[in-house]
Amino acid sequence: MDLKALSALYREMGIVGAGGAGFPTYAKLNNKAETILLNCAECEPLLRLHRQLLKFHAPVIIEAFDKTREVLGASEGIVCIKASYKGAIEAVTALLSKYPKLKIKILPIVYPTGDEVVMIYEATGKVVRPGGLPIEQGVAVFNVETMYNAYYALRGEPLTTKLVTIAGEVKTPMTVRVPIGVSLKELVDFAGGETVEDYIYWTGGPMMGNIEPTFAPVTKTTNSVFVLPADHYLVRRFKSDYTVETARAAASCCQCKMCTDLCPRNNLGHPIEPHKIMLAAACNNFKDTSAFINTFYCSSCGVCELYACPQGLSPRKLIQEVKNALKSNGVTPPKDVETKKVSAIREYRKVPLDRLVSRLAVKKYQTDAPLNNQLIDGFKTVNIPTRMHIGAPCTPVVKFGDRVEKGQLIAKAGEGLSVNIHASIAGLVIGVDDKLITIKAD
């Protein structure tokens, strides 16, 4: 199989980065890649997907990863695994003699090693320039579940299911495989239901996740649903208002610079300096516009506001607001920004995961969430969004009243960057618009 055929296959089968923003995988296939990385950092606390999937299904994941490497013509593939994921390390090590172009890189137990820019530096020593793409350094990164899905795509099976960790205030934390489009509430009920009365649903990791309505559907990128008490520390921080946070910055930011000192991107030489945006935004000081422009180089990892700041202030929130305002006014990040040297004391500025977990007040939720990779079935309806990836939304190709089979194409990839979407259950189409397709099970 050549690059063009693999690219077309991943697009047709609907393969996207199974987490984060859902970048279409075919668009990462580039024959300039000299090295490809398998990302098993799973650096956000509480998530339990990748380490277990790699531990129990290494043969299929590594086969797809090496096949992708071979088609790209990359000279090496590096499987990046956090040091504490012993089972995954053993499972991959046992296979390496079959794959001479692959090796393992053991990652430190710090946050955010899963950030592509950080991982590329840890694994290869290369620094992706601010605003640049990994491929400019000859690197492409794929996550564990994406390669698991790629294995089945290579056998003609489209993407219709998602692995999700259910944890927090639920009776039985677990990691399960479900059809795309089931509601978060159904997942939580499957895990025995909520154990507190007043709660919210949180998807994604505690550092970069979001509060979602209970009826929100599982998409191609839903890694987790955590039930948290409505008054939990993270919920209060998440809900705090930009105006209030700006006033707090003006009143309390002592310019200690801890936020910048611990910023993982700043430590790699990128020009993001959260302490400067705190001062500039809080004081409406527009004399030096670089503080505002440099917000484009923030990865939103949250270290500055949920770990570094001794005053409990919210640099990330201010940065996000500034970034959004710049974007909506048509400002784009400058090209060819200079990357400074990697900080000589970067090693000492890494954020240990156990300390982060304590700081986030989620230690009690750090429990096992055992994997059940058998598809959970029997859901009555699924609501499948027509956009579960970065890029153009898909166009529905089914209409109200159509009967569909599981795996059937229901929405075709849009123009440009986009991938197909397939039915996750067999049944009757009972709702279609440009945003959502609803299927009622047979």
Q: Residue numbers of the site for ligand SF4 (CB under 6 A)?
A: 253-259, 263, 265, 272, 274-275, 278, 298-304, 308-309, 311, 313, 315-316, 319
How far, in Å, CA of 277 to CA of 68, rounded?
Answer: 41
CB of 17 to ligand SF4, least distance (A): 19
Q: Residue 389 pairs with which residues in a beta bridge? A: none
CB of 122 to ligand SF4, least distance (A): 16
Specify the residue, 5 or 254, whose C-beta has the smaller distance to ligand SF4. 254
210-212/199-203 β-pairing: antiparallel
CB of 275 to ligand SF4, least distance (A): 4
Specify the residue, 188 or 304, whose C-beta has the smaller distance to ligand SF4. 304
Specify the residue, 275 or 350, whose C-beta has the smaller distance to ligand SF4. 275
Vertex 101: Cα angle to 99 and 103 (nearest 5): 85
Question: Token match 């670089």: residue?
Answer: 290
> Within 13 Å, how many C-alpha atoms sit on residue 362's CB side?
24
Tokens of 353: 């995961």
409-412/421-422 β-pairing: antiparallel
How far, in Å, CA of 326 to CA of 318, rounded?
Answer: 12
CB of 312 to ligand SF4, least distance (A): 8
CB of 232 to ligand SF4, least distance (A): 20
Specify the residue, 9 or 250, whose C-beta has the smaller distance to ligand SF4. 250
CB of 292 to ligand SF4, least distance (A): 13
Specify the residue, 130 or 168, whose C-beta has the smaller distance to ligand SF4. 130
Pick from 344, 345, 264: nearest CA to 308:
264
How far, in Å, CA of 422 to CA of 420, rounded?
Answer: 7
How far, in Å, CA of 131 to CA of 293, rounded?
Answer: 12
CA-based Rg of the chain, rounded to a whole angstrom? 22
Specify the residue, 209 or 274, whose C-beta has the smaller distance to ligand SF4. 274
